[in-house]
Amino acid sequence: MGYNMKKEVLDKGFVEVIDSLGNDLTVVNSARVSFGKRKEKFDNSDKRLVRYLAKHKHFSPFRHLQVQFHIKAPEFVMRQWYKHVVGIETTSNSSTKDHAWNEISGRYVEVEDYYIPTVFRAQSDDNKQASEGEVEDQKGTLQSWEDSIAHAKIFYDSLLRRGVAKEQARVVLPLSQYTEVYWTASFQAIMNFIELRDETTAQWEIQEYARILKELMFDVYPETTKIWSDLYWS
Annotation marks residue 197 as catalytic: yes
Helical H runs in the chain? 24-32, 44-55, 75-82, 138-161, 166-169, 187-197, 204-220, 222-232
Residue type, 42: F
Residues in the chain: 234
28 by DSSP, 3-state: which?
helix
Closest C-alpha among 70, 62, 1 to residue 189 = 62
Phi, psi of 78 (to 5 degrees): -65, -35
CB burial of 108-146 (b: ≥16 within 10 Å; e: otherwise) equals eeebeebbebeebeeeeeeeeeeeeeeeeeeeeeeeebe
205 by DSSP, 3-state: which?
helix
Q: What is the bridge-based pairing of β-strands 121-123 and 131-134?
A: antiparallel
Q: Which of 51, 107, 197, 211 is catalytic?
A: 197
Which residues belong to the active site?
197
